[in-house]
Amino acid sequence: MTAEPASRTTPSLKREQQLALYRRALKTLPGGTDSNFRAWGEATIYVDRGKGGHVWDVDGNEYVDLRMGYGPVILGHGDDRVDDYVNERMRRGVSFSLTSEDEVRAMELVKELNPWIGKARMTVSGTEATMHAMRVARAYTGRDKIVKFEGQYHGVHDYALISVAPDNMADLGDEDNPVGLAWGRGIPSEVAKTIVPARYNNIDALRRLFERLGSEIAAIIVEPVLGNAQGIMPKPGFHQAMRALTEEFGILLIFDEVKTGFRFARGGAAEFFGITPDIATYAKAMGNGYPAAAFAGREEVMSVLPDKVSHGGTYAGNRVAAAAAVKTLEILRDTDALETIAATGERVQAGIRGILDAKGLAYHITGHPSMFGVMFTEDVASEYRDWANTDHELYDAIAVGMHARGAMPEPDSREPWFMCEAHAQGDTVDRVLSIFSDSLDAALEARAHGEIGRPAEGAMSSQAAG
């Protein structure tokens, strides 16, 4: 028997404790987890702890974390600056259903970093933020319909779960007449009908849609990049053209900055792309992993609150989230954390390019240096449907191989890699690159042995969202 080449000897992860926990959890939690997006069957990861850019599972396996909780952990896990501040503040009590100065300060910082904002309010999750943003838009315009782009994820409320992440692109309907596809059962068809799907980066189709339905459309909600398709970027001028079109038709523009806010720039994607939306939603990076979120808007639009629109929540503005937001936003404002993160992302991207170029593979790196994807494709992807034509089977094999070697990107090619400030420390970048290189070698060998197929269009198993 001949020994296998090194790259085909996939290191195996310790899984004993996790499998035991999985079987135990299955008896109580559907899928053994609290979110469909973390339910990976027997490969479900049960985490013990994180520090900086690293996580450890309950079996003691250590990984460089490239998921960073789907984006919120912008500074690093267990950041002492944030945690110490939160700890100090929370000793004064966390939940009063009264308003603390921490909340006022948090929203002042959101405004300071996004100077176009008139008013802002805290929520607990990005889901609540987008839900309230849509309600405000409907109340302000007196119209019911909301346009959203295929492949964009805006949370788990009924209005957001339309045309999100189907594996089979044919389900999205004809390219010129996309259908509103509810994700899962339980979403009333009357609710679904108020959400009109559109195709990202296709301004002509958007104009036709506005010409047909414009007087019924309250807003268009857009994640400025396709954060759920590896951060596919807007074509040059797309956001400017969309902004002009919304103004022409009296339609509000909602920037869902849950992933991009306080990450692409201090003023989020709005600053990065030079766009002033009417409403924006924030979460994730604003609290370094604590459940801080907000929706905000122009003064006039937000004037429907507090009298004409319902918004509340026992935990809205709770002390833990508000204190975390205050400290995280102060750090992002006062330090060069975002510049460090972008530089680290650029180093990782340059390394990946070097590795892939040497193999002669066709690929594109999509997104922002702090949040990017690797797409194996000849063509530049410009919308969600393009993801189906990428070699995501190869990507998935690399991602899973990286877990076994000590780095953890999402094992679904749709979810980008997230960079945090702590990734700049030590040899983390070199480690990620050598793990990527070894996993690529192993995946290419597996393909040569027929163990990884070529992607059949639309065939995918897991469903990333966020």
Q: Does 153 bind ligand PLP (CB under 6 A)?
A: yes
Q: Cβ closer to ligand PLP: 298 or 414?
A: 414
- CA distances to 2, 186, 331, 358 from 69, rounded to whole Å, are 42, 27, 19, 32
- Which amino acid appears at position 57 of this protein? D
CB of 165 to ligand PLP, least distance (A): 11
DSSP codes, 394-453: HHHHHHHHHHHHTEE--SSTTSPEE--GGGGSTTHHHHHHHHHHHHHHHHHHHHHTT-SP
Distance separating alpha carbons of residues 406 and 395, to the nearest angstrom = 16
Positions 325 through 364 that interact with ligand PLP (CB under 6 A): none
Q: Cβ closer to ligand PLP: 214 or 267?
A: 267
> Which stretch, 126-134, 197-205, 232-240, 297-305, contacts ligand PLP (CB under 6 A)?
126-134
Q: Which one of 57, 79, 102, 256 is the catalytic residue?
A: 256
As given in the structure block, the two tokens for residue 249 are: 């038709």
- CA distances to 204, 230, 391, 455 from 386, rounded to whole Å, are 18, 11, 11, 13
Exactly one of 195, 203, 219, 258 binds ligand PLP (CB under 6 A); that residue is 258
Q: Cβ closer to ligand PLP: 52 or 231?
A: 231
Distance separating alpha carbons of residues 432 and 291, to the nearest angstrom = 28
First and final C-alpha spacing in the chain: 45
CB of 457 to ligand PLP, least distance (A): 25
Q: Does 271 bind ligand PLP (CB under 6 A)?
A: no
* Strands lying side by side in the sheet with 119-123: 119-123, 293-297, 279-282, 252-256, 217-222, 145-149, 195-198
Cβ 233 vs Cβ 245: under 8 Å: no
Task: Specify whether 308 is catalytic.
Answer: no
Q: CA 231 from chain center: how many Å?
A: 9
CB of 406 to ligand PLP, least distance (A): 25
- Binding map of ligand PLP across residues 388-407, x = CB under 6 A, - = no contact: --------------------
Positions 47 through 86 that interact with ligand PLP (CB under 6 A): 70
Positions 206 through 225 that interact with ligand PLP (CB under 6 A): 223
CB of 283 to ligand PLP, least distance (A): 5
Q: How many residues make contact with ligand PLP (CB under 6 A)?
A: 16
Q: Does 130 bind ligand PLP (CB under 6 A)?
A: yes
Q: Which one of 284, 384, 386, 412 is the catalytic residue?
A: 284
- CA distances to 230, 235, 265 from 181, rounded to whole Å, are 21, 25, 33
Q: Which one of 153, 159, 200, 384 is the catalytic residue?
A: 153
Q: Cβ closer to ligand PLP: 231 or 401?
A: 231
- Binding map of ligand PLP across residues 290-329, x = CB under 6 A, - = no contact: ---x------------------------------------
Cβ 452 vs Cβ 419: under 8 Å: no
> Which stretch, 49-57, 208-216, 256-264, 364-372, contacts ligand PLP (CB under 6 A)?
256-264
Q: Does 409 bind ligand PLP (CB under 6 A)?
A: no
Cβ 331 vs Cβ 75: under 8 Å: yes
- In degrees, rounded to 5, the angle at the alpha carbon of residue 70 between the alpha carbons of residues 68 and 74 is 45
Positions 155 through 184 that interact with ligand PLP (CB under 6 A): 155
**Cβ contacts of 291 within 8 Å, gap of 6 or more:** 124, 125, 315, 320, 321
Exactly one of 18, 61, 125, 390 binds ligand PLP (CB under 6 A); that residue is 125
Which parts of this chain interact with ligand PLP (CB under 6 A)?
Answer: 70, 125-127, 130, 153-155, 223, 227, 256, 258-259, 283, 293, 466
Query: Would you please indicate which residues are annotated as catalytic (active-site) residues?
Result: 153, 256, 284
